[in-house]
């Protein structure tokens, strides 16, 4: 089976920090949890796979797609950062941003936005101002903004860090269901029990290197 993400001989140097991944293949429709201490390189690896940070050496490819250019590849990979930035305007504006870039408008746009907001438990938030949301709501909107695009690869940087314990179970159930929607999910977490609950495979990273 062709992997969804394939990394070979990757080297990224940022100051004193080196991210070095000799080989990594992530299979499609699976969920992977990236764990490691603070500063181990989790966020850097996610940003590199999201093609926001380009490595000095090595390759990152998505063998199951025909996308070759950076802008094409960025349309199949979406990253939700740990402290997401919501664009100015309403929740709707945020979710519509990526859809407009993909020429999805009108009824289809409305339908997708309503569905994505319902999935993250934010029905009725469509016309709320982004600047008036709490930390947990921002994180949910950012996830909905990614889900609405139905990316082939979804990268999540500590997606549950701002989610309260009462909502955690539903949120984890949502994350666990994403591979069934055809997504390959890679998320970072400090909670070592979370991958087990989500049925995910653990990738341990230490000082910029993956420990098998």
Least CB distance to other proteins at residue 210 (A): 22
Structure tokens that stand for 138 in this block? 């921002």
Least CB distance to other proteins at residue 52 (A): 5
Least CB distance to other proteins at residue 152 (A): 12
Least CB distance to other proteins at residue 121 (A): 21
Closest to other proteins by CB, 65 or 167: 65
> DSSP of 62-131, one letter per residue?
-TTS---SHHHHHTTEEEE-SSPPPPSSBHHHHHHHHHHHTT--HHHHHHHHHHHHHHTT-TT-TTSBGG
CA distance from start to end of the chain: 21
Closest to other proteins by CB, 21 or 77: 77
Q: Is 42 in a helix, a strand, or coil?
A: helix
Contacts with other proteins by CB under 8 A lie at: 47, 50-52, 71, 74-75, 77-79, 81, 83-85, 87-88, 97-98, 101-102, 145-146, 149
């Amino acid at each position: 089976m062709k992997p969804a993400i394939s990394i070979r001989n990757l080297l990224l140097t940022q100051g004193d920090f080196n991210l070095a991944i000799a080989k990594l293949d992530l299979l499609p429709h699976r969920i992977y949890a990236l764990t490691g201490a603070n500063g181990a390189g989790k966020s850097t690896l996610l940003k590199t796979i999201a093609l926001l940070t380009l490595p000095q050496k090595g390759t990152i490819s998505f063998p199951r797609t025909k996308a070759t250019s950076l802008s094409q590849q960025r349309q199949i990979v979406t990253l939700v950062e740990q402290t997401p930035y919501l664009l100015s305007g309403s929740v709707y504006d945020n979710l519509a941003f990526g859809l407009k870039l993909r020429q999805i408008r009108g009824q289809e746009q409305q339908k997708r936005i309503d569905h994505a907001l319902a999935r993250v438990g934010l029905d009725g938030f469509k016309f709320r101002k982004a600047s008036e949301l709490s930390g947990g709501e921002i994180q949910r909107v950012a996830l909905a903004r990614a889900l609405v695009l139905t990316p082939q690869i979804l990268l999540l940087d500590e997606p549950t860090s701002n989610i309260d314990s009462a909502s955690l179970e539903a949120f984890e159930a949502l994350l666990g269901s994403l591979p069934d929607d055809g997504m390959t999910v890679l998320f970072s977490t400090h909670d070592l029990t979370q991958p087990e609950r989500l049925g995910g495979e653990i990738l341990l990273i230490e000082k910029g290197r993956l420990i098998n």
